[in-house]
Amino acid sequence: MQASVPSFSSTTGTTRALVLAVQPQLRSDAQHHASCQELEALAKTLGFEVVEVRSQKRTSASRDTYVGAGSLKDLADFLNGPGPDASVTKTWSRSDEAPVDLVLVNDTLSPKLQRRLERALDVEVIDRSGVILEIFERRARTRQARLEVEIARLRYELPRLRDDTTKRGRQGGGGRGEQGDTIVSLGKQRIRMRITTLEAELSGLQTAGHVRKRRRQDVFQVALVGYTNAGKSSLMRGLTGNEVLVEDQLFATLDTTVRQLSPVPSPPVVVADTVGFIQDLPHELVASFRSTLDEAGDADLLLLVLDASDSVWTSHLEVTSETLAELDIDPSRIQLVFNKCDRLDDDERAALLEGHPDAVLTSAHDRDALASLRQMILDVQERGLCEELVGLPHEHGALRAEVHAKARVLSEKHDAWGSVLHVLARPEHLERWHDLLAVDLSGATEVLESSWNHGFELDAAGDLSESGLLEAKDAEGQGWVLEVLPTLERREEYRRRDRARRWLAPSLPVAVPVTHTLTSGLRAKQPIGGHVYQGDADAVLERLADVLAALWSVDASHAAYVGVESLTIEEARRTRLEELETASIALEIPDEWLARWRGWLGSKTGWPAASVVLHGAWASEQVRVDAQGAFVALDGWGDVRVGDPGDDLAEIVGWLGDADALLAALEERGAPVWEGALEHIETLRTFSCVSRAAKLLQTRSQPAKDAAQAVIDAHTGA
């Protein structure tokens, strides 16, 4: 069987290597140079000394000789001396020390080509995959990692297994013609059996690992991903305060390390340091290390770490992003982090932020930068938390420790009944606690008792069967409205609204409602006051522009953590095109309107450049004004999303009436008003009938189809 990595060395005690590479036509000089440097660094990690790099530009690598036949002969002459017919005098003999001990090829070679190169060069040849596999074998520490690497090594060697010249022939009495199996076939059988045994053991270890991961699922998880040697382990140590292996080598760590963020926040956060990425990672390792990368797939937030001081970080970003895409990881959960920024000057930092304005610049050696990174993690975590009241009667006192351990307790009140904790917590925790503390809310008496225990006093029992709404006051005399939520789906929807409201409220210059879920089926909302908008456009225009400008300035990439829908402009265009095609097939739409809408959806001009955060519910009754008609509060938070800014503008213009004045006010505030915005808004207003009709058609009933046709007819004048 072929040896994986040679154990011999030169008389100096160091294994000397020559790097052989082919630069394909489609690979740039910078990319090729970086790839060769990477292989040199991998060789250094194994303790090899790279004495020379030979590269050849070709359309593609030769299947027979890798480099050209002439280049291969030149290399053979360099390694072994010229042949007997050569005119050049031989300068050394095989009894002398050879120039190198092995050749490292910067590609993954087929077994056949690898054997041809070894015969031609009379020296050990190792391809890029073999080098990486050897590093993984040396670096693996845990039993699971060792099993994964051994499986990868066996799969790599299986097609490369060939007869040993000292052990040719057949063994046993089986095989074709009962002549016995060849040594190669017997060796392959042993390898396959070994792989089966290892996979069975690995499956058991992975099952235990899944159990440990399930225990962490109710904790906010951050995964450090990125190119190898980008400084992930250094950041891990800086964020968690734990001593983890930090070396200036490729693949210094292979095993996933999980530690708590330090100082430990409430609720807690865990950070996982995953295996580094690299170009041309062997397929055997991509498959076998899937469990290591699963930490990234399970994480709430992925920090994609790049070495900002590396001149080829853009190619590292490309490799990492492609691998994450193969793992089907939601890009909205990925945060770009440039590490080692202490090595950059001010101009280089500014250039990074100009190209990637949402990126975080940090350094594992800068305490202030690490503190900012930690705060960013906590800010993202908080967007997924819900703010609610948890009432703990004395008989459930044991639950108090769990609430304090898994939630951030904002305040706590005690009385003879028990305690009411005002908390920020993950939705799944809150749902579990409310289920454990569930009470019967089938009648007014039960609602009265539950409300009283949570610090609310009902003004009147009311008739729950008709409205499900009751007026109440808290201990400070503030008015509230209580609502019974009979289903889990309804509670989850209100929690999503509450997260969206908490996310956006700090950015808005108007008031928003305050809400709390009291039990698994009871919600309290504090009215926002003011009067419903009555049609004084001049009084509300300026504040409307303030609110819209504030919404548009919110970082829309955080929408995923809040749980709201997010569409790019292109996705919004495709959605509307699908709505139009659905409606045009089932309904009669006048040709002139159909042509107008198709032309608008097919045009690349007149559309906004980027999506923004939308309130999504701009009916006039959601806008509250004071006695002078000024806009003071905003309600209706069920349709918050990220999408086409024209959606909000079209709805507002529907009752405000003055699109020109609104766009002018937005431009004064520096909001991104695009060329063609006015026409876009007007087209959206007419297209709204298509969207409504498409929704009606989803029920697939004749009455719904008739209603959809009526909507189209009313707006097109048919």
Please spell the DSSP secondary structure of 460-510, one letter per residue. ----TTTT-EEEEEETT--EEEEEE--SHHHHHHHHHHHHHHHHHGGG-SS
Residue 668 above 90 pLDDT?
yes
Look at residue 592 in the predicted model and tell me its pLDDT: 93
| Residues of the chain above pLDDT 90, percent | 39
**pLDDT confidence of residue 294:** 62
Which of the two residues, 269 and 474, has the higher pLDDT score? 269
Q: How much is the average pLDDT of 165-193?
A: 64
CA atoms within 13 A on the CB side of 617: 13
Least confident range from 64-73, 168-177, 630-639: namely 168-177
Give the mean pLDDT of 646-664: 93
Reported confidence tier of residue 177, pLDDT bands at 50, 70, 90: low
Average pLDDT over residues 331-357: 91
Q: Does residue 696 have a pLDDT over 60? A: yes
CATH superfamily, region 533-716: Aminoglycoside phosphotransferase (APH), C-terminal lobe (3.90.1200.10)
pLDDT tier, 635 (very low <50, low <70, confident <90, very high otherwise): very high
Top-level CATH class of 219-382? alpha beta
What's CA 90's distance to the chain center, in Å? 59
Contact 309, 231 (CB under 8 A): no
> Residue 267 has which token pair?
């609720």
The values of phi and psi at residue 617, to 5°, are -140, 80
Token look-up 């969206």 returns 500
Say what the pLDDT of residue 54 is.
92
How would residue 622 be classed by pLDDT, with cut points 50, 70 and 90? very high
Whether 533-716 and 16-139 are alike in CATH topology: the answer is no
Q: Name the one residue in this structure whose structure tokens are 């040697």.
A: 229
pLDDT single digits (tens) 137-164: 777 767 777 787 888 888 888 887 764 4
Mean pLDDT over 319-323 rounds to 81
Cis status of the peptide bond prior to 263, with omega within 30 of 0: yes
Between 439 and 217, whose confidence is greater? 439
In sequence order, what DSSP letters do the residues of 620-685 get, joined into one string?
GGGEEE-TT--EEEE---TT-EEE-HHHHHHHHHHHH--HHHHHHHHHHTT--PPTTHHHHHHHHH
Looking at residue 460, its pLDDT comes to 55
Note the pLDDT of residue 229. 77
Look at residue 465 in the predicted model and tell me its pLDDT.
44
Is the pLDDT assigned to residue 102 strictly greater than 80?
A: yes
Average of pLDDT values for 107-131?
90
Q: Record the tokens describing residue 280, joined without a space.
A: 């041309």
Task: State in words which class domain 16-139 has.
Answer: alpha beta
**Token pair belonging to 69:** 């036949």
pLDDT recorded at residue 135: 80
Q: What is the pTM of this model?
A: 0.73
Domains of the chain by residue range = 16-139, 219-382, 385-526, 533-716
Lowest pLDDT segment from 85-99, 514-528, 676-690:
85-99
pLDDT in tens, 382-400: 999 999 888 898 888 889 9
Question: Each residue of 190-226: pLDDT tens digit?
Answer: 888 988 888 888 877 766 555 445 444 678 999 998 8
pLDDT of residue 545: 95
- What integer best gives the mean pLDDT of the chain? 83
pLDDT over threshold 90, residue 650: yes
Confidence of residue 81 (pLDDT cuts 50, 70, 90): low
Confidence of residue 91 (pLDDT cuts 50, 70, 90): very low
Using one digit for the tens of pLDDT, what is the confidence trace for 51-75?
999 999 988 888 889 998 899 999 9
pLDDT for 509-556, tens place per residue? 999 998 888 887 888 888 888 888 888 888 899 999 999 999 999 988
**What span, in angstroms and rounded, lies between the C-alpha atoms of 598 and 596?**
6
